[in-house]
Structure 1
Amino acid sequence: MRYRTDKFVSVGIRPWGLLLAAAGMVCISTVAGFLGRLWWIFELASHFRAQYFLFLLASGFLFLIGKRRWPAILTGVFALINLSLIIPLYIAGPFAHSGDRMLRAMLINVNLSNRAYGTVRTFIRSVEPDFMVLLEVNRIWLDELQTLQAVYPFSRASPRDDNFGIALLSRIPFERAEIRHIGKVGVPVVVAQFKVDGQSLAVIGTHPVPPAGRDYSEDRNQQLDELARVVGLQEGQVMVLGDLNITSWSPFFGDLIRTTGLRDSRKGFGLQPTWPTGLPHFWVPIDHCLVSSGIAVHNRRIGPHIGSDHYPVVVDFSVESRKARRGQRR
């Protein structure tokens, strides 16, 4: 009896062809991520550098085992390109001198549809932040958090029934706090001015729209531009806490950093992805804490799952003292 071997050959070839096609698409996406200014979809491709790196690393290893030299080299090169964008997050930058008073800030996108009110309250009590920015809060959320008022008596909020309600809760008094509206859709931004050991600290909470289409992408970018102008109006040191709906690999995030002079608090602490909690293979770091040059970040971490599609962000920091700043100028 004769057996046909073409089916066995095709089965043997097909996995390599599929792997090569998939690796090719990831290589194309790697390049597309650098072209985000040309098309909003290209900009979306910039957010998955960690996934690209891991997939290309695994693909290159398989190609190497399979003695497919050129695919192994190609995937290796593109894996290194993505790795070069990730490594800086693990390298500490030029930080400010530590201040006399350690503070803790927290950012939570509670998720408007989240009903785990008790879980969120318990987490806040366990972390004990000095102040926090809460996103996607409506009137129900504010009512559920009323039990924290004795600990956080100072607040400014703009509750909404869409995804853009915002609140600032603080245990330390602020000199002033206001709600501003930015962008065409008038997304609220909370701006508060604190005094820390006699020095000014501006805290800005924000939540630009997600880039779900060309128009929304343009709106988000406009809101980031207006956010930069708000930062420029502040006195003293500045901290921005927000779900910016963008990762640090987007060219528009780079614009925000260059325009404001702020730095990413993740420097030295790694990727720290925050969204979406239910899809770990697609985790991306879109919840940010940006700080000015006079703020020393001592620790930054991601909190546990609290019912939201975002993980909380907790940052321990201090404001550089005047004495340390005078010493730097000598």
Structure 2
Amino acid sequence: MLSIVIATLAILLLGITILARLPVHWWWIRSCEFPRLQIATLALLTLLFAPFSEAPWRWLIVSSSLVTLVVQACYILPWTRLWPVQVQRAEPGHDERCLRLLIANVLTPNRNAEGLIELIRRHSPDIVLTLESDDWWGQQLDTALASQWPHAVRIPQDNLYGMHLYSRLPLVSPRVERLIQDDIPSISTGITLPCGDDIQLYAVHPRPPAPNESEESLWRDAELLLIGKRIHDAPVPTLVAGDLNDVAWSRTTRLFCRISGMLDPRRGRGMFSTFHAHYPVLRWPLDHVFSSEHFTLRDMQRLPGFGSDHFPILTTLCYRPSRADEHETPDADRDEHREAHATIREGKEREQET
């Protein structure tokens, strides 16, 4: 009986692994991309139990578990210290070229604003980006931050897609955009660094593929790829930050990086999993910072929780265009550009079904 149970689990894990590779937008398929670390861990356990199983189940367990483990490892290893870093480490000095960015999905019903404000004051970032922030959150943040972070873009919404951006540094032509869906905002703005150079920032929070949100990932994918296309068409020093409602190793996020040429500072350093803050076993990286080749990384850390279902993440990047050639910039081929164009077009044309 034990052999049958272990074999069933091994086959189930292999099935989920295969489903995650299908190029479709259905939410239940795309959700198979999220728990790769958890699936790999379970596959390792079934492999360890295989010697205690009876034939012929033993070889079925071994073969299924090995395939699952190898495939999942190929996806998650780049986000471990076993892999080369993608964004080079910043050298000491050049503080006037560095930008400290704090991202926090506050979870709208969470009312522990003081917990987040204390983190902001302690770490003193140049830019604060909050997601899921409504009018109440905006009032708390305005009262606490307006004097030291005077430049702001406020988009209070009560649909879990509100967004607030606070900055010590001057913002250049900030715009609120609704790229794919009218109720999902994003922010596009220039930022003037203390050294006098301008960089571009996109702040995003697309709708996730989930039963109560969207039956498909199409509209999330279209928004990310549209931003990627913009970056590709106007290759200026750029940062992309926010809760992407997608994991770093997903089909869409990897395509976004190839379309845009953006780099992931976590690669070679760790996953920095930010969600779910309350369930350590079910945790993956949803909150992201991507940079163009013009930046090096000084520091990246996940901060303590403050009542939200997301941990905040704090990243310090330095604008060092003279070191751009030290990076291997990802690049998309013609078929991938066609795929991105088709996804963007379909996302704009189709109405969402929930």
TM-score (normalised: structure 2): 0.82
Equivalence for 1:210: 208
2:136 equivalent in structure 1: 140
Which AA in structure 2 matches 1:252?
T
Instruction: Give the Cα–Cα distance (whole angstroms) in 1 for the partners of residues 86 and 314 of structure 2.
Output: 21
Match of 1:122 in 2: 118
Distance 1:325 1:66 in 2: 53
Give the fraction of aligned pairs with identical amino acids, expressed as a percent.
Answer: 22
Q: Which runs of 5+ in 2 are unaligned?
A: 328-354
Q: 1:162 aligns with which of 147, 159, 165?
A: 159
CA drift at 1:21? 0.8
Deviation at 1:36, TM superposition (A): 3.8
Structure 1 residues 136 and 234: CA distance shift in structure 2, 3 A: farther
- The answer for the alignment partner of 1:272 in structure 2 is 272
Counterpart of 1:105 (choices 101, 105, 117) is 101
**1:285-327, CA deviations, whole angstroms, 9 ceiling, x for partnerless residues?**
11111111111122222111111011111112101145x5699
Matched, 1:189 2:213: no
- In the other structure, the counterpart of 2:348 is none
Matching residue of 1:149? 146
Given candidates 67, 72, 79, the residue that maps to 1:89 is 79
The structure with the largest alpha-carbon Rg is 1
Q: 8 Å contact 1:156–1:168 — kept in the other structure?
A: yes
160-169 vs 268-277, which moves further: 268-277
Contiguous gaps of at least 5 residues in structure 1: 1-12
Cα distance, 1:32 vs. partner? 0.9
> What amino acid does structure 2 have at the position aligned with 1:93?
V
The residue that corresponds to 1:80 in the other structure is: 70
- What is the alpha-carbon distance in structure 2 between the residues aligned to residue 238 and residue 115 of structure 1? 32
Note if contact 1:178-1:190 (Cα within 8 Å) is conserved in structure 2.
yes
Q: Report how many residues are paired.
A: 314
- Pair 1:64-2:60 in alignment: no
Q: CA deviation at 1:256?
A: 1.0
Task: Answer yes or no: is the 8 Å Cα contact 1:37–1:251 preserved in 2.
Answer: no
What letter corresponds to residue 204 of structure 1 in structure 2? Answer: Y
Cα shift at 1:34? 0.9
Separation of aligned partners in 2, 1:16 and 1:327:
51
* Distance across 1 between alignment mates of 2:140 and 2:164: 13
Secondary structure of residue in 1 paired with 2:200 = strand
What's the counterpart of residue 19 of structure 2?
A: 32
Structure 1 position 175, deviation (Å): 2.5
C-alpha distance in structure 2 between counterparts of 1:320 and 1:52, whole Å:
39
1:282 aligns with 2:306: no
Specify whether residues 297 and 96 from structure 1 end up closer, same or farther in structure 2 by C-alpha distance, changes over 3 A only: same
**Match of 1:95, as an amino acid?**
V
Partner of 2:239: 239
**Secondary structure in 1 matching 2:164:** strand
By how many angstroms is 1:89 displaced?
A: 1.4
**Per-residue deviation, 1:139:** 1.3
How many Å apart are 1:121 and its aligned residue? Answer: 0.8
Q: CA deviation at 1:69?
A: 4.2
2:352 matched residue in structure 1: none
Deviations 1:160-182 (A, max 9, x none): 11111111111122223121111
How many angstroms apart in 2 are the aligned matches of 1:123 and 1:104? 13
- Distance of 1:179 and 1:234 partners within structure 2: 19
Q: 1:84 to 1:171 in 2, by over 3 A?
A: same
Tell me the SS of whatever aligns to 2:47: helix
CA 189–287 in structure 1, closer or farther in 2 if over 3 Å, else same: same
Whichever residue aligns with residue 87 of structure 2, its letter is: F
3-state SS of 2:217 partner = helix
